[in-house]
């Protein structure tokens, strides 16, 4: 038995979120924060390897309070992200990376006993093939969110544009599990049909894929697809939807089958989207939501 269920790797960040028609919110964020707090809250022993300015270590405290072991890779700054929702369509948003902590190198990563190492990036400024190859050489099971590569920073404006990824097939082939959303599906495969997109991506060498869109989540495992609708009553907590969905799914998959894990993830992220910030509920809240909305 590994010491950790999941070790999350990526940047800590500040998120400045402008919901459509509402006041802006500034708070600590990132894929690592959203993911690690999910797995820890549902009882998975969790580690987080984060690159950030050590002087701002206090923003990792919410993870530590839940028992997450945090390992800091020192950087000159902490990543700062601005997200502007331009319409009521929560998948339509402009993202600017005002500051970035920079690439993570294999020598930065502690060698931990973990079922999975998850590459949870905000943009293409965090991971490269050298890191992936280094982690594979250590024999780790890997997962990633393809936003870590599809979200590409424009050098002058710092705006994030969504672009195809030169090494996408090689990246996918080295993953045991990965996540996409509907925008990333279109960029990587040319289709917004999630079933078709996951079929294409699976052909590149990853047997288990999770894909989200505004109303639900799909999972594909060994050629079989499953789908579960979300049940949220609000989208105030849209930021972090994919990170939360995947963390819930991956955590539950450590001991459960695909359809059970998918239903669990859909219920949990539905609760998360009804309030801003990382998931703050309990297992009992998730069980209740499954009984009421996902049975």
On the 0-12 / 13-18 / 19+ scale of CB atoms within 10 A, 44 is buried
The total number of structural domains that make up the chain: 1
Domain of residue 99: give its range: 4-293
**For 123-132, what is each residue's pLDDT tens digit?**
999 999 999 9
Confidence check: pLDDT of 192 > 70: yes
Q: What is the mean pLDDT of the chain?
A: 95
**For 76-86, what is each residue's pLDDT tens digit?**
999 999 988 88
Taking the model in full, what pTM does it have? Answer: 0.93
Cα–Cα dist 271/291, whole Å: 13
The SS3 call for residue 142 is strand
User: What are the tokens at 133?
Assistant: 């190859």
Mean predicted confidence (pLDDT) in 152-176: 96
**For 255-268, what is each residue's pLDDT tens digit?**
999 999 999 999 99
The CATH number linked to 262 is 3.40.1190.20
- How would you classify the pairing of strands 46-52 and 69-74? parallel
């Amino acid at each position: 038995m590994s010491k950790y269920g999941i070790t999350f790797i990526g940047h800590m960040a500040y998120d400045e979120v402008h919901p459509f028609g509402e006041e802006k919110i500034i708070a600590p964020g990132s894929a690592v924060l959203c993911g690690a707090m999910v797995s820890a809250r549902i009882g998975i022993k969790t580690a987080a390897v984060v690159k950030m300015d050590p002087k701002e270590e206090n923003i990792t405290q919410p993870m530590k309070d839940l028992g997450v072991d945090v390992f800091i890779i020192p950087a000159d700054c902490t990543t700062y992200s601005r997200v502007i929702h331009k319409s009521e369509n929560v998948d339509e948003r402009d993202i600017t990376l005002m500051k970035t902590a920079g690439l993570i190198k294999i020598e930065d990563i502690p060698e931990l006993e973990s079922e999975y190492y998850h590459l949870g990036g905000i943009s293409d400024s965090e991971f490269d093939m050298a890191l992936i190859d280094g982690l594979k050489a250590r024999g780790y099971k890997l997962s990633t969110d393809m936003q870590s590569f599809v979200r590409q920073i424009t050098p002058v404006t710092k705006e994030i544009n969504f672009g195809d990824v030169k090494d996408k097939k090689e990246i996918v082939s080295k993953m045991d599990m990965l996540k996409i959303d509907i925008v990333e599906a279109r960029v990587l495969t040319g289709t917004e049909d999630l079933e078709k997109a996951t079929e294409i991506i699976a052909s590149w060498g990853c047997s288990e894929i999770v894909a989200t869109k505004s109303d639900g989540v799909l999972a594909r495992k060994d050629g079989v697809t499953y789908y579960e609708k979300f049940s949220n009553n609000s989208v105030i907590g849209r930021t972090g939807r994919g990170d939360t969905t995947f963390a819930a799914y991956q955590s539950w998959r450590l001991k459960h089958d695909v359809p059970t894990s998918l239903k669990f993830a859909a219920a949990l992220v539905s609760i998360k989207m009804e309030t801003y910030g990382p998931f703050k509920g309990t297992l009992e809240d998730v069980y209740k939501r499954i009984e009421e909305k996902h049975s």
